[in-house]
Structure 1
Amino acid sequence: MPVRTHPHPVGMRAPRLWAAALAVVGLCLALVTGVAPGRAHAATATAISVDGNSQGRTFDGVGAISGGGGNTRLLVDYPEPRRSQILDYLFKPGYGASLQILKVEIGGDTNTTDGAESSIEHSPGTINCNNGYEWWLMRQAKQRNPHIKLYGLAWGAPGFLGGHDFWSTTSPSTVDYLMNWLDCAKQHNFTIDYLGGWNERYDRAKSPAWYEALHAALAKHGYATKVVGADNDWAIADDIASDSALSSAVDIVGAHYVCGYRSSQTNCSSTANAQASGKQLWASENGSDDADAGAMAMARGINHGYLDAKLTAYINWPLVASISPNLDYNGVGLVQANQPWSGAYNVGRSTWTMAQTSQFTSPGWKYLDTSSGYLGGNRAGGSYVSYAAPDKSAWSTVFETMDATADQTVSLSVTGGLPGGTLHVWTTDQNAGQPRMVAAPDLSATGGTYQLTLQPKHLYTVTTTTGQAPGTVTGPQRTPQPLPYSDSFAGYPSGAEAKYFAGMNGAFEAAPCGGGRSGQCLRQMTTTPPIQWTNETANQPYTTMGDVNWSDYTVSTDVLLERSGGAADLLGHVGWQKQNNNGLNAYHLTLDTTGTWALQKSDQSWNFTTLSKASGKIAKVHGTDTWHKLSLTFQGSTITAKIDGTQVASVTDTSYGAGQIGLGTVWDTKTHGYYGVQYSNLSVTPGTAPSLKGTYNLVNVNSGMLLDAADEGTSDGTPIIQWPANGGANQKWTLTANADGYYTITNVGSDKTLDVPAETMLPGTQLDLWGANGGTNQQWAVTPSTNGAYTIESRNSGHLVDVSGASTSQNTPVIQWNPNGGSNQQWKLVKAG
């Protein structure tokens, strides 16, 4: 076997908890003495005068967005006390992210990235102010922080508005719709502080007149809500400079991704016209990053946004990752919470990054320009931003050293009427496996100055404020969603979504049953194709639910068609959905009012293929307002379809080996599927799952190489790579199932297990070998994916075993990464002798 080298030395490492304890001891020693054990000092030293007389803009807050993709949907269904724990981490002051702004989607029944949110007006003139879960979320936020600011923005809208033109002011217009939404907010006792236009859309020919109409309507209806324009780029600032009416209509200029989309957020920018407009400038959407991996970018962006571009608010998209793992932005948010059935959740590093600013400031404080800048005058060393209360009673300075490579010292002096005395220090170590914000030793002045040593990849806040009590509670471990599962849909109030279901288009809500059936059913409510935000070619309504790891099961439901020519759709093995609903891997059993049926599969480009000999017509099915039962059974590679208990097809197909279930309508050129269909008596029952117990080579589908313990290593900490097949025992793995259905994956050459180091949630972490310890970081869901391949999912994080960068080169690290549908996350299990 060739001799190989590896970038990470193979050898023993200290026990993990002991290593973490040593890190904390080292941090405390550094803060007390200014000396970091075992770390060279940087020559850089920065002197900072925290001056209460400094000029600066008014701070508006840091916040997050619920919406633009249904990203909060699964949070609603979390059991207590887990749901309240998550909400506390998001909104409770001094506890977690301590959000100061909550921006919510004004639902439009259309997909807006990874889901659709319900409109208050599915059909013209019929308004239900209880539709959707954003009202619930705003109430939860206000209960925890009465001072939080609320901000509404539309991504899409009902199609009957403005002749299907968002920017039209012809009644009924989207301006009228927004007034109705504000009236609903008033019914819920909410004051909406800020209101936007159409997310990431701005038409220089039409939009200025629309914003002027919005401004006039707000005044007419007696709302003091401030208008944010245009939730896009800085183009509106150029128009404001030459259009006094538009300038009067817009209170705040908000732009998106001003530090770069999914970037390091090192450089942020605004324009001369924006800065000269006299308006507050906001990063009204930023982020789109993983809850853990995006934390360092956020740390730069919050500080650099003000230093570079005079941005006074930073709003992260999204609030929480409460969508299923087969959607593109599945790990993105401040908290990851996509298993309501288990109650499992993870408070991301980004939560603590935001806390380092939000827990020590308040909207209305002032930036201190002369007390803010780059450490050592060089942004590579890090940055600092200072804030003071308007009455100078308190102040805070936030430091980030995300790009620093060595320790550096800062000295602070306090002037301009700000308080001195004992200063409190809080810090978050982005190097840690599972970081949280913790208190560090207080600072006392010597000769009028305070000394603090800053370590690389840390956040620090020096503050005179008190009362912080960061949360330490953690969620339970992840578990599969249990089967059998059933829901009659009879117990929901009208307008409610069904438990665990997440609409992708349209609106699936409880409503009185038709067809002579009493009680409530689930009904597709939207009757007009919406004004879309996404650009999908097929935007038919459907809703999905369940565990992406379900493989062998039977799903059935009763369906009723309300419209002649309409068709119901039962989905199974629902897998990867392409970004912005541009395609879906799934099987579909469809039935229309003429009795025509088909068993099809769709792909990520919305191509539909009818499976072999799996279509036909049933004479006894005819007309509307009658109930029929559809069912799909998946057992291994066999798919069986039944209608009203009669088998109509049994086929073999291996395209999609596992996935959720779904309910929907069928697209046509006239209605796009936006018509009434009802569903009742949903049932999902388990099949017989095959055992994978045995010894295998794990072959990556993308590269053809094997999962390999580097250099035939047998020590704890041996890194895992991909390597061409060589017959070695370090490429053989034994799978052993536990009682929960997860597997331990043991290396034959070392008798050690496949392991996520330090139980970290951080995507990109290279996997290693470690002695068996029963931890969730050594437990894996092994699930059929496509054409006989499998995905391997960490129970600890929900991330998949992945070949870094989809590389086809030998010696490439094997890491954990968010699900993305790539072949580099798929593995063939080949029996090894």
Structure 2
Amino acid sequence: MTTRVLIFFFFFFCLNLTAQTLDVKDLKCETQINPEGITKARPSFSWTFVGDSISTKQGGFRIMMATTIEKLKYPDLWDTGPTSKSETGPYQYLGEPLKSGQKVYWRVTVWGNNRGVKHSEPAWFTMGDIKNPEKTFEPPVLKREGGIVKININKNDTGRVFEGIGGVSAGASTDLLYDYKDPYRSQILDILFKPKFGAAFQHLKVELGGGENSTCGSEPSHAITREELKNPVSRGYEFWFMKEAKNRNPDVILEYLPWSFPGYLKENIYTKESAEYFVSFLDVAKRDWDLDLDWVAAAENENYTDRDWLVNNVRPLLDARGYKDVKIQGPDDNSGDWQIFEELEKDPEFNTIIKAVGYHYVTGREFNENMVDGRGRPTTAKAKASGTPLWASEDWSWTGKDWGGAGALNLARLYNKFYIRDKITKTLIWAPIGSIYKSVTWDKAGAMKANSPWSGYYEVWPTIWATAHTTQFAQPLDWQYLDTACGLFDTSTYKGSVVTLKDKNSTNWSMIICTEKSETVEVNIEKGLCKKTVYVWKSDANNQFIQQEAIKPKKGVFTIKLDPKCIYSLTTTTGQQKGSYNIPEETAFPFPYSEDYEGGKENDLPKYHSDQTGSFVITKKEDGTNCLMQLNPEQGYDWMRVYRRSNIKPNTLIGDVNWKNYTCSVDVFIENGDVELGGRVTSSYIKGYRFMLMKSGDWKLLFHKTVLQEGTIKNFEGNMWHNIKLKFNNETIEAFVDQVSITKLESKEKNGYVMLGSSYNNNLFDNLKINP
């Protein structure tokens, strides 16, 4: 074969490789394409993944199954959720029991190992006569006679132990709360955690920070380098947040979970060293904060976990280091319909160390008024039969400002639904508080809002009181559900429901009711439970958590009329209150503004900065004064790396998204790589103007990722401090280095935050100034 022919074939091969696009095809049920007459109750599924030049392998997948093609958007039969698995099957069906003769539509979404996504065309299969059909779960419906709902409360009724309601502080969602000053900071913390005062959250799960973006920003690591692992450091606000929660409620249950990991732990995050990383977080909590944590979610958030690592590394190390009482929860995933129970059933050793099982978004992520009736990923019969505590370990993720839609009323309905349908005894919402700059990802999420620390302003939203309807009336571990007094008003919807609990140590009881329509309820209190005064609390769209006229049962029986679309708590306990404080007026971010980073201690977070990627902490200069340092020495193991784009580089935001014309400047010392000063930045992904200065003296002025101008400063001295400045005046942008104009250009008039950025080096910043 001639050289010319070889070159032609090589060129043709490369051309074809380049032209190949990501694809998913050949969807098969029981090895057949669109088969009919499937008789297995739980068939298996597979497909073919076709990679491209960027992603040669599958990085993850999601299977969706529904009774119609239209319902594939929000599947009513099965939804694995996004997984991080490279195998293309076979995967066994774990959804709702299938029926003989049923036609099922399904599709697969795949992600490449270096991002990129492809949705398959819909496929289908038809069930024949199923061998060994399974019984479909039917929710309990409350007895109704003559239009009156009858509920009996029996102290000998069976039911699971209530384990609490709490919040997940993660993804930088609590960022700006740390910057509030007393008395307002204490007021907010009271509303979140003080028993019988506000939300009274009973469980707090925090992020084990890894320095990479984990939703609304990044949280610093306690051991960002291998050397620090030998002597871990208290950083960020999560230790502080747990301590404040504990100060208000000594019985609050504490847990932690990682999203990202420092670079030295990649590519395999399930090693002996990563187990040390997990356990050393407990060392910092105890050594510096006198905190004893209760649970570790030994996994990576929403990316499953590793059985051998838990059994052979994590549990033995916890025991050896004096943390035998710290229990392991897993897998904290958002996929799989509780598939971990398929493994636990066959693996006694694994089953022994998993003390609770938690999954995310158990009711799905269709955030509207019908959310409560969404299928999501319900617990399986096998999960319920296991006896293992079942948790909704992250759920809801919406704005607490709304009453209707997916807001406060629906959250209260979810709390009830999770026990009635799923036998879930603990629910954690993300987030307990939204302390995030405006326009940053998920900036409206949270049960309440506190993102104005300079003014002390905060907002207490209806979701705080929807949560209080449960947390102020039942205590974790001491209260038990009464199953025959839990159920729905109407079999067709979870919008109207009742759960009833009793105190295991007294005769007290409480009942939490959510209504969709007007209802009349007759309650019969049987022997052994308190029959004295029944106190009533009510919330509706206009007024939340208002105490009503008390009820005096006659011979243990009373009747109550309930309004539609309300939450009620009926109880024989006392002491509940709608806690409140005088909240100051909201003011804009102070302008002009300057920050010299003095007053903070080493490794502390700088005031009003919001890290989006990387970690910016206070450190000492050679002269003993403070400055700001980007801490991360290398890019870490990025959370959700398969499914979403990474941030451009380490960066932190400060200021007001509405700022338009201003001059910002900062002193910089470039240890290596480059530093940036940005302006008119509007999002987590540095969408704004960026002036980048390198240690070599090269510079670039960019908008987002587009280079607008670039050049080199002659005779630049890289080993000394420099000042960089950006001036925004209507449609003109001018950049300066050491007060010398470097470039000036015309551009569109925009608005946004000031941004400090850095390569993955320990670069320094000081004397930030923002002026008209």
* Deviation readout 1:582-611 (Å, 9 max, x if unpaired): x33111001001111111110xxxxx1122
Q: Shift of the alpha carbon at 1:202?
A: 4.2
Which residue pairs with 1:657 in the alignment?
A: 750
Superposed CA RMSD: 1.8
Which residue pairs with 1:150 in the alignment?
A: 254
- 1:546–1:499 CA distance, 2 compared to 1 (3 A): same
Letter in 2 for 1:417: G
Which residue pairs with 2:441 in the alignment?
A: 328
Unaligned runs of at least 5 residues, structure 2: 1-144
Which residue pairs with 1:301 in the alignment?
A: 414
- 1:155–1:266 CA distance, 2 compared to 1 (3 A): same
Select which of 377, 397, 407 maps to 2:518. Answer: 407
Q: Shift of the alpha carbon at 1:532?
A: 1.1
* Distance (whole Å) between structure 1 residues aligned to residue 737 and residue 428 of structure 2: 49
Contact 1:212–1:245 (Cα < 8 Å) also in 2 = no
* Distance (whole Å) between structure 2 residues aligned to residue 227 and residue 297 of structure 1: 30
Select which of 205, 211, 215 maps to 1:113. Answer: 215
| TM-score of the pair, normalised by structure 1 | 0.71
Q: Alignment partner of 1:527: what SS?
A: coil
1:56 paired with 2:142, answer no
Contact 2:304–2:331 (Cα < 8 Å) also in 1 = no
Letter in 1 for 2:486: S
Which residue pairs with 1:575 in the alignment?
A: 682
Which residue pairs with 1:468 in the alignment?
A: 576
Q: Alignment partner of 1:143: what SS?
A: helix
Contact 1:212–1:249 (Cα < 8 Å) also in 2 = no
Q: Alignment partner of 1:311: what SS?
A: coil
Q: Shift of the alpha carbon at 1:481?
A: 1.1
Which residue pairs with 1:826 in the alignment?
A: none
* Deviation readout 1:220-254 (Å, 9 max, x if unpaired): 22211111000014122221111111101211000
* Distance (whole Å) between structure 1 residues aligned to residue 308 and residue 421 of structure 2: 28
Q: Alignment partner of 1:320: what SS?
A: coil
- 1:104–1:538 CA distance, 2 compared to 1 (3 A): closer
Q: Shift of the alpha carbon at 1:199?
A: 3.8
Which aligned segments of 4 or more residues in structure 1 are displaced greater than 6 angstroms? none
Contact 1:122–1:526 (Cα < 8 Å) also in 2 = yes
Which residue pairs with 1:723 in the alignment?
A: none
* Distance (whole Å) between structure 2 residues aligned to residue 653 and residue 540 of structure 1: 24
Unaligned runs of at least 5 residues, structure 1: 1-41, 578-582, 603-607, 666-672, 687-833
* Distance (whole Å) between structure 1 residues aligned to residue 158 and residue 190 of structure 2: 35
* Deviation readout 1:353-383 (Å, 9 max, x if unpaired): 1000000000111110011101255536600
Percent sequence identity over aligned pairs = 34
Which residue pairs with 2:505 in the alignment?
A: 391
Contact 2:332–2:360 (Cα < 8 Å) also in 1 = yes
Match runs of 1:616-655 below 5 Å: 616-623=711-718, 625-654=719-748
* Deviation readout 1:248-271 (Å, 9 max, x if unpaired): 121100010001125322356111
Select which of 661, 667, 684 maps to 1:552. Answer: 661
* Distance (whole Å) between structure 2 residues aligned to residue 296 and residue 381 of structure 1: 9
Q: Shift of the alpha carbon at 1:174?
A: 1.6
1:99 paired with 2:201, answer yes
Q: Shift of the alpha carbon at 1:156?
A: 1.2
Q: Shift of the alpha carbon at 1:213?
A: 2.4
Q: Shift of the alpha carbon at 1:79?
A: 2.4
* Deviation readout 1:276-308 (Å, 9 max, x if unpaired): 222100000001111123212211110000000
Contact 2:329–2:358 (Cα < 8 Å) also in 1 = yes
Q: Alignment partner of 2:243: what SS?
A: helix
Select which of 291, 294, 317 maps to 1:190. Answer: 291
Q: Alignment partner of 1:663: what SS?
A: strand
Letter in 2 for 1:480: A
Q: Alignment partner of 1:245: what SS?
A: helix
Match runs of 1:373-772 below 5 Å: 373-377=487-491, 379=493, 382-401=496-515, 404=516, 406-429=517-540, 431-432=541-542, 435-513=543-621, 517-535=623-641, 536-563=645-672, 566-577=673-684, 583-602=685-704, 608-611=705-708, 614-623=709-718, 625-654=719-748, 657-665=750-758, 673-686=759-772
Q: Alignment partner of 1:555: what SS?
A: strand
Report how many residues are paired: 608
Q: Shift of the alpha carbon at 1:492?
A: 1.8
Which residue pairs with 2:126 in the alignment?
A: none
Select which of 214, 219, 225 maps to 2:314. Answer: 214
* Distance (whole Å) between structure 1 residues aligned to residue 603 and residue 454 of structure 2: 22
Q: Shift of the alpha carbon at 1:407?
A: 1.6
1:89 paired with 2:183, answer no
Match runs of 1:9-28 below 5 Å: none
Letter in 2 for 1:609: T
- 1:483–1:651 CA distance, 2 compared to 1 (3 A): same
Letter in 2 for 1:610: V
Which residue pairs with 1:39 in the alignment?
A: none
Contact 2:417–2:494 (Cα < 8 Å) also in 1 = no
Q: Alignment partner of 2:743: what SS?
A: strand
Q: Shift of the alpha carbon at 1:116?
A: 0.7
Q: Shift of the alpha carbon at 1:211?
A: 5.0
* Distance (whole Å) between structure 2 residues aligned to residue 387 and residue 195 of structure 1: 28
1:319 paired with 2:432, answer yes
- 1:490–1:499 CA distance, 2 compared to 1 (3 A): same
Q: Shift of the alpha carbon at 1:518?
A: 4.2
| TM-score of the pair, normalised by structure 2 | 0.77
Q: Shift of the alpha carbon at 1:651?
A: 1.2
Contact 1:229–1:254 (Cα < 8 Å) also in 2 = yes
Contact 1:344–1:478 (Cα < 8 Å) also in 2 = yes
Which residue pairs with 2:280 in the alignment?
A: 180
- 1:157–1:43 CA distance, 2 compared to 1 (3 A): farther
* Deviation readout 1:634-662 (Å, 9 max, x if unpaired): 111111111110111111111x6111111
Which residue pairs with 2:484 in the alignment?
A: 370
Q: Shift of the alpha carbon at 1:678?
A: 0.1
